[in-house]
């Protein structure tokens, strides 16, 4: 049976000109996972960043973005992906009550120290019956990194654990849970948990790691200029060969979904 690709060429060609390759792999795989579900508008995008994900995922839909970072908020507004952009902290920002039919949180809530307050604010902003779709990291996602597994195979378990902790610190993960842990976070906010779906394979983690070092230049560029890349038109010419490389990495690695969960919660009807 032919293995279904986690990343489409169309998404990759749209994403790669504007983002480092490592980030592009993750974001395109999340787009594929999200498209298995219906996200009715109006939609709230929590931690919206520059707006690229929403622009591709929710074309021609009413979407509001919220981000605590003013620089990201300006890019989000310029992206024209949003009906409105709210600059503020999702734990206490004033959002319209019972207004949104869906909320997407694309790997943003694990960075919020008071995730309980964020979840309650999202609950209030959703209509009864509205759903939240959260991409969140699996607690042990970094154990699928090739470098981690090599260290374990060599007997350097302590060093491997230090590497795992260092990576999670670098990515500022305030919350890391297994499936039950994430289910509790959502349920404690008053949501009915409809699914905790494992998404993003070990293969995406391997590809992410392989492409991470050259992608660090994009991180530096973003720090200096507020954007990941400076020459999207020039990068577009390299989309196809980079996609071929990425697809090769994915096909050679384990397709088991180990990296993240897509947690779906529903605000109960009255």
Interval 48-83: pLDDT, tens:
999 999 999 999 999 999 999 998 888 899 988 999
Q: Is the pLDDT of residue 4 over 80?
A: no
* First and final C-alpha spacing in the chain: 45
- The Cα–Cα gap between 179 and 105 comes to 17
Q: What is the pLDDT of residue 14?
A: 96
Q: Is the pLDDT of residue 2 over 60?
A: no
> Mean pLDDT across the chain, nearest whole number?
95
Q: Is the pLDDT of residue 1 over 70?
A: no
Cα 257 to the center of its chain, rounded Å: 15
Global pTM?
0.94
Average pLDDT over residues 211-218: 89
Adjacent-strand bridge partners of 106: 135
- The Cα–Cα gap between 265 and 187 comes to 8
| Structure tokens, 40 | 């009715």
Q: What is the DSSP string of 1-30?
A: -PPPPSS-HHHHHHHGGGS-HHHHHHHHHH
Average pLDDT over residues 24-46: 97
Beta-carbon contacts of residue 248 (< 8 Å; ≥ 6 apart): none
Average pLDDT over residues 74-99: 94
Domain 9-266 is of which CATH architecture? 3-Layer(aba) Sandwich (3.40)
Q: What is the pLDDT of residue 3?
A: 64
């Amino acid at each position: 049976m032919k293995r279904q690709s986690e990343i489409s060429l169309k998404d990759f060609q749209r994403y790669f000109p504007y983002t480092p390759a490592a980030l592009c792999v993750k974001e395109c795989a999340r787009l594929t996972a999200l498209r298995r579900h219906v996200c009715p508008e109006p939609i709230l995008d929590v931690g919206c960043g520059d707006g690229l994900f929403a622009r591709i995922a929710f074309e021609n839909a009413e979407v509001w973005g919220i981000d605590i970072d003013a620089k990201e908020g300006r890019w989000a507004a310029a992206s024209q992906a949003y009906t409105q952009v709210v600059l503020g902290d999702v734990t206490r920002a004033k959002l319209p009550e019972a207004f949104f039919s869906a909320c997407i949180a694309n790997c943003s809530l694990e960075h919020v120290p008071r995730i309980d307050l964020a979840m309650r604010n999202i609950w209030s902003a959703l209509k009864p019956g509205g759903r939240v779709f959260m991409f969140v990291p699996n607690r042990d996602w970094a154990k699928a990194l090739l470098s981690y597994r090599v260290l374990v195979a060599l007997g350097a378990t302590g060093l491997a654990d230090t590497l795992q902790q260092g990576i999670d610190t670098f990515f500022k993960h305030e919350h890391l849970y297994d499936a039950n842990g994430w289910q509790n976070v959502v349920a404690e906010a008053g949501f009915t948990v409809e699914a905790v779906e494992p998404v993003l394979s070990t293969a995406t983690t391997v590809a992410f790691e392989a492409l991470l070092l050259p992608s660090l230049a994009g991180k530096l560029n973003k720090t200096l200029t507020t954007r990941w890349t400076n020459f999207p038109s020039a990068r577009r010419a390299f989309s196809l060969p980079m996609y071929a490389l990425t697809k090769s990495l994915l096909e050679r690695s384990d397709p088991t979904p180990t990296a993240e969960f897509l947690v779906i919660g529903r605000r109960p009807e009255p």
